Every structure is written in C-alpha cells, then in structure tokens.
Structure 1
Amino acid sequence: MLIFWTITLFLLGAAKGKEVCYENLGCFSDTEPWAGTAIRPLKILPWSPEKIGTRFLLYTNENPNTFQTLLLSDPSTIDASNFQTNRKTRFIIHGFIDKGDESWVTDMCKNMFMVEEVNCICVDWKKGSQTTYSQAANNVRVVGAQVAQMLSILSKDYNYSPSNVHLIGHSLGAHVAGEAGSRTPGLARITGLDPVEANFEGTAEEVRLDPSDANFVDVIHTDAAPLIPSLGFGTNQLVGHLDFFPNGGENMPGCKKNALSQIVDLDGIWAGTRDFVACNHLRSYKYYSESILNPDGFTAYPCASYRSFQANKCFPCPAQGCPQMGHYADKFAGKTSGEEQKFFLNTGDASSFARWRYGVSITLSGRTATGQVKVALFGDKGNTHQYEVFRGIIKPGTTHSNEFDAKLDVGTIEKVKFLWNNNVVNPTFPKVGAAKITVQKGEEETEYNFCSEDTVKEDVLLTLTPC
C-alpha cells in the first residue's frame, strides 16, 4: 500500500510540475507547453536573473563606440545615460553561445547611426546562452521577461511608449523578442533573424515568436533546412506578418567554402570556425545589417515558392509593391494582411549582399545562328556586367526573356549593349542583332524600350538607344 501511495504522489507531482518565481518577472513552470511535450521533452526550469546576468548596453549617436549600462535594479542609470525619449529605440538580442558585445551587434548599431538618430540597446545574456542548448532555450523566458521589464520601466517612469520600440533578435534571441513582445501590449515591431528551430518549431504560440507579439513582425529565414538530417538551425515555419526567404532560405551563396578558406578570410579563428559551422544561420544578421545602408537593395517578391521565383514567375512587383527585406520592411504598405506572406529574393555571395533585379526581353533580328545572347544595362548611376538572356538557336523575329540580379542600381537606363557568341568557327560570319530590347526594374511598372536596326558579328557589341 505504501508503494502505491508513493507512486501516486510521484505521478501527481510529475503532472503538477515544478515552478520557480522571480521578483518583477513572474513565475515559470516546467509544465506544458514549456516542457513534457514531443518538441520539448525535457523538464527544465530557466535560471535566475542573477545567474543569467543580463546586461542592457546602450549605444547612441553620441556614444557609438562605448556602451552605457542600463540597470533594471537602478533606473537612475537611464537618467544618467544618453537615452533620449524623442528617438526610436532598437534592441538587438543575440542567440545561442553568442554575446551582446560581439562585433556584429555593435556594427549593426553603427550602421543605424549612419541613417538615423536612435537609442540602440544590445541585450547581453551571454552567461545564459553559453550553456547546454536545452537550458539556453529555457533561459529565453527569463531574458524575454527582463526585456519586457525594461520596456515597462521606460513606459512608467519616462512615459516612453512601446510604439517607439523595435526588438531585433537573432536565433534564440528572436524567441526572446517574442517573449518580451507577448508581455508588452502595443510593441511596434519585432524582427526575427533566422529564429532557431529546435525546441520551438511547431510549439504553441506562447512558447515561440509569432505575429501576435508585436504590431508588425518580420522574419528573415536563412537556415531553414530541416535540423535532421541537414543541420539547418533556423525554422522553416512562418512566424511573422512577412517572412523572407533570401536565396530560398536554406543554402546561402558563399557558405560552401572549406573550413580553412573560411577561417583565413575572417578575423580570428573563433569567428572563422563559427562562420563555417553556422554560416547560413549567421547570414540573417549580416543581411539585416547591410540592409540598413541599402534602402532599396533587398527588394523581395511575393511568390508561392523559390522554384517559382527562379522560374521567373514572380516578376515584377504586384500593384501594392514589394517590401524590402530587413531594416525598411515596415515601410511596406500591405505589411499586415490576415494571410501568411512569403517573399523571395537573391543576394550576393559576400559583402556587399544587396542586389537589384531586372527583367529583360529581346526580339532578335539578322541571321539564324546557334549561340548565346547577353545584355548589359547602362544608366546614370553606372552599368551592369553582361548577363545571359538566352542560349540556343538564335532566330530572327523570336523574343526571349530572362531576369537577373545586378550588383548595383543603374538608375535611369540610358542604353543597352547587346552581345552574342557561339564559339564555333562559321565561315559565313553570320550577323545577329536585337531589333528591340525591353527592360523593367522589379519595383517599377514602367517598361523601357530600346531599338536598333543594325546587326553585328559574333563578340561585337551592339548599342541600342531608346526607341
């Protein structure tokens, strides 16, 4: 009988679960949906605020290189700092095994200072993140509550509205932002930078980042391949109002170098090995940081899939326009429709990542030949490389179209240069031309037409001017 009651009490205790409470933050339990589920089988409680040691490091336009520490326990540190209530505040929250004074975090603040006056607060919770993954995933809850506590202090003591606040979280930090947002009504925006998958994908909304956590939630997915077997760290689940999948969201260009070359071209072996192991996962914050300085360099197109995007089925932008992935995503007019919205774009394989997409249509003239046709665009801001539009039988009167991602915005297109070749000796030296070339920028409805009546031999440039 004693054994029966012992087992019964044990089972009741297991069902009830454990709970820990922290002053000003509330209580945290290890019951469902936080633990004891298929996605979160381990029953782990978050560490105490003292053990996690979260720090709020303030950088502003006045102190871009050295931080001022804001203490939850001593709000007078806010008074003594350069925090200004007439500016927006952007929090940057790092992820697993990272730290808040890492160079990418401070570099992101510095990019912001180049385009705006802003309070940039780096949330450093390295003690809570540099532990086992399961423990760090649960520490997210306390760190999120602390961010919410800071927002509450700003609101109550300084009349500073959450509508002026933007939380930017990478990896586990995206879910920290989600926790803070769920505790802060009226929060303006959360940006999730490759929110981590393990222990979060498929969980209840209160566990992870979701669209209800802020008035506007935008997400950049760069490592969305399944964790098993592909070792993708990021979630594939749509968790925002706008979900961006650059380069398809799984394999980022430039991330397939061998370990040695990756380490050699980065400062420090730690940065190099980390970049090699988690290159796709880290691309999300690199894209975001660059987007701050490129207001139109990350145009993203609504599309059913990346395959459709690659097949040129999602160009140009629809009537309501296209959003910019990254810093300026909140300028998109239709940002919070009731439906989940997926957007695709391509980037470069290394910094600079920004790209500008063009659609080109060529109507051929001259002789029939076999080969490839290329064009280069010339505008008032510069010119592109030669991009291939068609390869096969070049037949007069036929029209061929393609899209490409240029490394720069050429501005107003003034002329187009046409080139063809086939690398086959042809004693008749056929001449081929382009009677008409139509060019369209992805973000614009306007089409630009260029014409020529001339034809040229292989490898000879033909310049087309506006019709």
Structure 2
Amino acid sequence: MRSQLARVIVRVVGVVAVVVIVSLCANVVGAEAAAASTAPPAVEEEVQTPRDQCGHTLTRSKGLDVSFWKKFFKHWIPFTGSARVKMQFFLFKRDFPDCGRELVTDDDEKLEQSGFDARHPTRIIIHGWMSQSKGSLNRDVKNAYLSLTRPQNRSTEAAQEAPNTESPPTVEYSDFNVIVCDWSMISSNVNYFGVADMVEDLGFLLSEFVRHLHMRAGLHYDDVYLIGHSLGAQIAGSAGKQIYPYRFNTIYALDPAGPKFREQRDDFRLDASDAHYVESIQTSTNLGFEEPVGHATFYPNYGKDQKKCYMYGCSHKRAHDYFAETITSSKGFWGTRCERQSEHVWILLENEGEFRMGGEPSVPKNGTFYVKTHAKPPYAMGRRRRVQKEPPNGQYEEQTTEA
C-alpha cells in the first residue's frame, strides 16, 4: 500500500513539474515574441578582441566579492562542488591597470593579443586560502608594482645609480607584466587541509603556465618573481620545484602557511632551493612559521603579533600589507640581523648594519632579521641607527632616522 502511494506521489510531482516547466517556457517564448515585435531593428555588434575585453576587474569594491561567495557556497551544496584543480591567470599592465586580460596555457592567440611583453619584468601574485580573487593582496601589490612604471624607460640609468642596500629603491620601469593567479575556485573551500593537499597540483599548473610564456613569448625565467601569501607561498615553492632545472629569480613568501607544512621535509614545503633567492616576511606564528624559511627571513615586530591587530588572522594578513608598502615607500623597512635563541630571547647584531626588507628589485641577503614597524599605515619607519650622545642618565639612546 505504501509503495503504491509513493508511486502515485512521484507521478503527481512529475506531472506538476512538467506543467510548471511548460508554463515557464510558454511565458518565455511569449515574452520573446512580444519583445521581437516591438524592439527596434537589431544593430550588428562589433566583435571584441581580447584587447577590448576585461577578463578580471581589480579595483577596490564597495561591497562583497559576489563571485567569491558563489564559489564558497558552491562547496556546501551537494553534487555541485568540484574537486577539479583550476587556476586562472590575468595580466595587468600600465595601459590597463584595473582590467585584467586572461592568459590561458597553450592558447597562443590569447597570448599574442594580450599585450604580454617579455622585455618587461614579470611579477606573479598568488593569493592564499579563503582569499578573494579581488582581495587586497592582489589589488595592493598589483598597484604597487604599476606605480613604479613611467612612459619612458630610465630603469637602466637608475639601476646603476641605486645603492645596493643603503637606501630604498629609486628604479623606474617602463612597464611590468603583473599577473594575478586566481585559484579561488579551490581556495574558497572551507576544508583547509583538503585544499592544502592540492598544493602540488596547483604548483604544477603554475609551472606549466610559466613554461608556456617561456616557449611562446620568450619569457626569461630569471625575470620572474613569485609573490605568494599563505598557501600561495607554498604553491610558489611547489612551482619552483617543478620548474627545475630552471629557476625563478625570486620568491617573496608572505607569511607562508604553517599548518600541515611545519613538520614537512623541504621536498614538500617552501624552501631556499625553490628559486635563486627566497625571502620570507613572517608576521604570525599560529597561521605561519616560527622558524626561518628561505635565504632571508624578516620578522616584523618579532614575527608573532602585529601592532593593533586584535582580530584572528589580522597579523597573518599584515604580511602583504607590509610587502606592498616595501615597493612604494620612500622610507623602506630596514631589518637588524639577529639570532633567535628562544621564543623570548633575541640577540640583535646591530653592528652589522641594516638590511632592506622586500622591495623592487629584490636584493639577496642571508640570515634572520628583526624589523620594527609603525602600528598603522604607513608602517615603514625608515632606517634606524644608534646615535651616541651623553643623555642625563649616562645611557645611550636609540633614535630613529629616515633614509
């Protein structure tokens, strides 16, 4: 009896569904017919080339990133989420700073029409877990690089005049290839450890994309910097391993993701061997690393809790805020070489001078460095040195001086 009742219900529901669908189709057809009878003659649309199209708008939004939240909730709806690894790449240049043009691996036509120019330095930005594709990392770092560009290229003369480590960079560039790596289709999954398991696959996609630029557009690997935040830094490291025997010039690791990676061997996490030069800026110990990573490791405010950071994740995010400012600041962030004997005991080797954190171009150095910052933007404090004078108490004071 119950089975017969169930079959009746299914049939009734099926009939109702068909009626609703037919009704909707009839309404749509009727509406289209009415529109066709009253609409003016159609004007033939101009065919847009990739140069005319905006594949990815990257400006400060007044509201939420709707596209990100669609991806986020898609992981919660059964049978609609997908585990397929996907990564998109959007090119920004001085002539189109806010409207990215999509580049696709093995699509020669899109590459040719995009405006990518291998004569310009290439900077690839890789966001982290739960980051929005139009978030502040991509926007601020992209804007910072493009702010250095000028219509006429005086970079060669400026580079010869710029001191190595004694002042912030004064180099000007005719242009950059700033490429935003958007993997938010995967990163929007709330399952962090499931996402972390895909780092090697994502690193492979990134390395294959750079190979495509090398083979089809004449890109030199030594002109490439990868700038990765959190899991993006681990993806950068994986790409560096998989591009071997070639090497990227620089990897800037912005508070590289620690959970799941802290206990891993160097083969499975970001390491100094992943590029000619690897520099990390470590700003939190709960989401990042406490131990040094790469050739040079900078610890702003001892690398634990950043100033005026009261919300969870604020210190983690502060790494890319600092980095964007290292590119544009006239003062710069300057670190003192140090020895970390324990979590609470740091020996500052102030007689060894000061070393610039981040910046453009990168300046290779080795060791661990302590950096002091302001509590609010602009965070850079400039160079700091000890000035010897005789105060009333007979103690030397530490004063801050701008570069």
What TM-score results when the alignment is normalised by the length of structure 2?
A: 0.68
Separation (CA, whole Å) in 1 of partners of 2:97 and 2:268: 34
Residue matched to 1:189: 250
| TM-aligned CA deviation for residue 49 of structure 1 | 9.8
| TM-aligned CA deviation for residue 154 of structure 1 | 1.2
Contact 1:129 1:139 (8 Å CA) reproduced? no
SS of the equivalent of 1:64 reads strand
| TM-aligned CA deviation for residue 107 of structure 1 | 2.0
Letter in 1 for 2:195: A
Higher relative contact order (CA 8 A, sep 6+): 2
Aligned pairs for 1:389-428 within 5 A: 394=392, 399-405=394-400, 409=402
Deviations 1:410-440 (A, max 9, x none): x6xxxxxxxxxxxxxxxxxxxxxxxxxxxxx
Deviations 1:211-266 (A, max 9, x none): 00000000000002xxxxxxx1001122200011010000111113xxxxxxxxxx
Instruction: Give the RMSD, CA atoms, in angstroms.
Output: 2.5
Residue matched to 1:291: 326
SS of the equivalent of 1:304 reads strand
SS of the equivalent of 2:143 reads helix
Residue matched to 1:314: 349
Residue matched to 1:164: 223
SS of the equivalent of 1:244 reads strand
Identity of aligned residues (%): 27
From 278, 287, 293, give the equivalent of 1:217: 278
Residue matched to 2:292: 238
- Give the 3 Å change call, closer, same or farther, for CA 211–312 of structure 1 in structure 2: closer
- Give the 3 Å change call, closer, same or farther, for CA 70–329 of structure 1 in structure 2: closer
Q: Do residues 179 (structure 1) and 238 (structure 2) align?
A: yes
| TM-aligned CA deviation for residue 277 of structure 1 | 2.0
Residue matched to 2:27: none
Aligned residue pair count: 294
Contact 1:92 1:122 (8 Å CA) reproduced? yes
Letter in 2 for 1:359: R
| TM-aligned CA deviation for residue 53 of structure 1 | 2.7
Residue matched to 1:247: 301
Contact 2:118 2:220 (8 Å CA) reproduced? no
Unpaired runs of at least 5, structure 1? 1-47, 225-231, 257-275, 365-393, 412-467
SS of the equivalent of 1:303 reads strand
Letter in 2 for 1:129: S
SS of the equivalent of 2:309 reads coil
Considering fraction of residues, name the structure with more helix: 2
Letter in 1 for 2:204: A
What TM-score results when the alignment is normalised by the length of structure 1?
A: 0.59
SS of the equivalent of 1:219 reads strand
Contact 1:301 1:323 (8 Å CA) reproduced? yes
From 112, 117, 124, give the equivalent of 2:182: 124
Letter in 2 for 1:402: E
Separation (CA, whole Å) in 2 of partners of 1:328 and 1:69: 25
Residue matched to 1:110: 143
SS of the equivalent of 2:297 reads strand
| TM-aligned CA deviation for residue 75 of structure 1 | 3.0
Contact 2:254 2:320 (8 Å CA) reproduced? yes
Separation (CA, whole Å) in 1 of partners of 2:234 and 2:144: 24
| TM-aligned CA deviation for residue 295 of structure 1 | 5.3
Separation (CA, whole Å) in 2 of partners of 1:68 and 1:215: 29
Deviations 1:98-134 (A, max 9, x none): 1332233122111111113211111100111111001
SS of the equivalent of 2:179 reads strand
- Give the 3 Å change call, closer, same or farther, for CA 139–312 of structure 1 in structure 2: closer
Contact 1:192 1:220 (8 Å CA) reproduced? yes
SS of the equivalent of 1:67 reads strand
| TM-aligned CA deviation for residue 292 of structure 1 | 0.5
Separation (CA, whole Å) in 2 of partners of 1:70 and 1:295: 33
From 359, 372, 377, give the equivalent of 1:346: 372
Deviations 1:35-84 (A, max 9, x none): xxxxxxxxxxxxx9983331101111111011101112423211111211
Residue matched to 1:69: 102
SS of the equivalent of 1:234 reads coil
- Give the 3 Å change call, closer, same or farther, for CA 309–139 of structure 1 in structure 2: closer
Contact 1:200 1:208 (8 Å CA) reproduced? yes
Residue matched to 1:153: 212
Letter in 2 for 1:171: S
Residue matched to 1:206: 267
